[in-house]
Amino acid sequence: MNTVSTALTIALLFAARAAATDAESPEYWYRTGRDAVAAAKRLAPIDGRAKYVILFVGDGMGVSTVTAARILEGQRRGQPGEENLLSFEKLPYTALIKTYNTNQQTSDSAGTMTAMVAGAKTKAGVLGANQNVVRGDHTTMGGHTLTTILELAERAGLSTGVVTTTSVTHATPAACYAHSPERDWEDDSELPDTARSAGFPDIARQLIEFSEGDGLDVVLGGGRQHFLPAARTDPEYSQKRGRRTDHRDLTDEWLAKTRAAYVWNLKEFEAVEADRTDHLLGLFEPGHLQFEADRDADPAGEPSLAAMTAKAIDLLARNSRGYFLMVEGGRIDHGHHWANAYRALGDTIEFARAVDAALAKTDRRDTLIVVTADHSHVFTLGGYATRGNPVLGKVVANDERGDPRKSPEADGLGLPYTSLTYGNGPGYTGASDDQPEGPKHAHHRGTGYKGVTAGRPDLSTVNTEDERYLFESAVPLAGETHGGEDVPLYADGPMAHLFHGVLEQHVVFHVMAEALGLPR
């Protein structure tokens, strides 16, 4: 950030602070405090059964991510930001969720999501199976699979749906329908020879062959490559092909369902009519969907997470018996793994819009909405920045009078620093990210990683609010890691009051099953 832009930032900080101060008088704080107590006293639990349950999972969305996204959303509206609330933060019931796996202190998404949708904690890397399986060994699966809430819902005649911004075969969505000792077996090309020769089904195949009830009703996300044969050219990118070696086109097999539709671009998605479609499969990328910040540049167009959520609800709500829907903001996690807070927080804001879309289409009297995360990240917000300081920017502190200083704060080396940092990751040098496709798992990418250099970079002329900027990390790693602390949960609707205090992660399943009246 140059001297001119720094001066402009300082001027804007003064203006934002002045506007906030005018509205936030001492009387304002007392009045809003009394109002909050009065509202809490009026809150009454809804004890009846839920007809509908929607589980929102912000992958990697820890408390610091929620706070930073809240501020960024407010600042994009021209506010200081700290006073803002994301849509789901307004839900009345909250809890803290413990995220460890049975074999890891800091968890992965496969084991944590299995706990939330199948009711028991398990090992990292394992989908829909208990802790007695050996990761990567299909022969140990016998007698150790877990029944998911989607399977229970289908048995009870409810409709089911999975919506995500990742590949639909990625760990979080896959835990909803698949049973596998290895999260990476997304298509048959990734199976070890022993599993392939034994006929063990890969994750994409398990999605299509999901046999409970009438199968999954709505599946929206990415991952076309796992459903198309290796000889098939991708419809959007001529240089890419499918990955399946068994020559099966699983999208064609989906179309064998009753009143089924398969779509792969925005135009086809928008043309889907809920009252004419019983089964909808949408695969909008060969791999993961674009980050929200990049979605408008997609060649064939992609629906937003909010649009996919709304479409899924429209289709599923046609079932008079009810439905269970899982919606994942999956690329929050990937942005953090790259140390790219711009994209991680942008996807968190879109995730909040998806929750808002669901709230607009449902009634709290018959719909339980649960918003949580599978795990956190080593992502922090600090530095004594003044009120309204750009959350993606460098720290501007207050002077002895409590007013913003005229230049960014300096560290012990005399260098400016940002409010947002990572405990570890590829941003050790404050590098830029050109966002190439990279390997499948974001935490293996190392985009922008340049290794250890002497001391911190000088950020004086660096625009840390640029979408390509990788925020600094204390420990240099090719990819930033998950965090091991508890994650927040927000809920409303029937049985939402059962979420309180500090809970083990598998309790999420049991509250949702209780709300729907499912046997277990």
Confidence of residue 21 (pLDDT cuts 50, 70, 90): low
The mean per-residue pLDDT over the stretch 206-218 comes to: 98
Q: Compute the chain's Rg from CA coordinates.
A: 23
Which of 158-167, 329-338, 451-460 shows the lowest per-residue confidence on average (mean pLDDT)?
A: 451-460
The mean per-residue pLDDT over the stretch 219-226 comes to: 98
Q: Where are the domains of the chain?
A: 1-33+379-480, 52-57+90-377+492-516
The mean per-residue pLDDT over the stretch 170-185 comes to: 98
Confidence of residue 445 (pLDDT cuts 50, 70, 90): very low
The mean per-residue pLDDT over the stretch 485-491 comes to: 98
Q: Distance (Å, rounded) from C-alpha 41 to C-alpha 203? A: 47
Q: Is residue 256 scored above 90 in pLDDT? A: yes
Mean pLDDT, the chain, integer: 93
Q: Distance (Å, rounded) from C-alpha 182 to C-alpha 125? A: 6
Q: Is residue 449 scored above 60 in pLDDT? A: no
How confident is the model over 95-120, as pLDDT tens digits?
999 999 999 999 999 999 999 999 99
Q: Give the model's pLDDT for residue 18.
A: 59
Q: Give the model's pLDDT for residue 442.
A: 40
Confidence of residue 23 (pLDDT cuts 50, 70, 90): confident
Q: Distance (Å, rounded) from C-alpha 199 to C-alpha 113? A: 25
Q: Where are the beta strands (DSSP E) in 124-236?
A: 159-167, 218-222
The mean per-residue pLDDT over the stretch 123-143 comes to: 98
**Residue of 112, 126, 79 lying closest to 390 (CA atoms):** 79
Q: Give the model's pLDDT for residue 432.
A: 60
Q: Distance (Å, rounded) from C-alpha 480 to C-alpha 169? A: 22
Q: Is residue 224 scored above 60 in pLDDT? A: yes
Taken in order 10, 11, 13, 17, is the CA torsion positive or negative? Answer: positive
Q: Give the model's pLDDT for residue 441.
A: 39
Phi first, then psi: what are they for 95, rounded to 5°? Answer: -155, 165
Question: 87 is written with which tokens?
Answer: 């849509």
- Residue 469: how many CA atoms within 13 Å on its side-chain side? 23
The burial of 63, by beta-carbon neighbours within 10 Å (0-12 exposed, 13-18 middle, 19 or more buried), is given as: middle
Residue with tokens 């034994």: 198
The three-state DSSP-derived secondary structure of 84-100 is: CCCHHHHCCEEEEEECC
Residues 6+ away with beta carbon under 8 Å from 393: 1, 9, 418, 419, 464, 465
Q: Is residue 208 scored above 70 in pLDDT? A: yes
Residues 6+ away with beta carbon under 8 Å from 196: 188
Q: Distance (Å, rounded) from C-alpha 378 to C-alpha 476? A: 13
Q: Is residue 448 scored above 70 in pLDDT? A: no
Residues involved in catalysis? 109
The burial of 297, by beta-carbon neighbours within 10 Å (0-12 exposed, 13-18 middle, 19 or more buried), is given as: exposed
Q: Which CATH superfamily does the domain covering 52-57+90-377+492-516 fall into?
A: Alkaline Phosphatase, subunit A (3.40.720.10)
Residues 6+ away with beta carbon under 8 Å from 326: 54, 55, 56, 57, 117, 150, 161, 162, 163, 173, 176
How confident is the model over 312-360, as pLDDT tens digits?
999 999 999 999 999 999 999 999 999 999 999 999 999 999 999 999 9
Which of 62-66, 96-100, 432-436 shows the lowest per-residue confidence on average (mean pLDDT)?
A: 432-436
Q: Is residue 25 scored above 70 in pLDDT? A: yes
Q: Give the model's pLDDT for residue 3.
A: 47
How confident is the model over 259-286, as pLDDT tens digits?
999 999 999 999 999 999 999 999 999 9
Q: Give the model's pLDDT for residue 446.
A: 42
Question: 206 is written with which tokens?
Answer: 């398990």
Torsion, CA 399, CA 400, CA 401, CA 405, rounded to 10 = -10
Q: Give the model's pLDDT for residue 273.
A: 96
Q: Where are the beta strands (DSSP E) in 146-234?
A: 159-167, 218-222
In this prediction, what percent of the chain has a pLDDT beyond 90? Answer: 88
The mean per-residue pLDDT over the stretch 84-102 comes to: 98
Q: Give the model's pLDDT for residue 437.
A: 35
Q: Give the model's pLDDT for residue 436.
A: 35
Q: Is residue 49 scored above 60 in pLDDT? A: yes
Helix, strand, coil distribution of the chain in percent, nearest 5 = 35, 20, 50
How confident is the model over 375-413, as pLDDT tens digits?
999 999 999 999 999 999 999 999 999 999 999 999 998
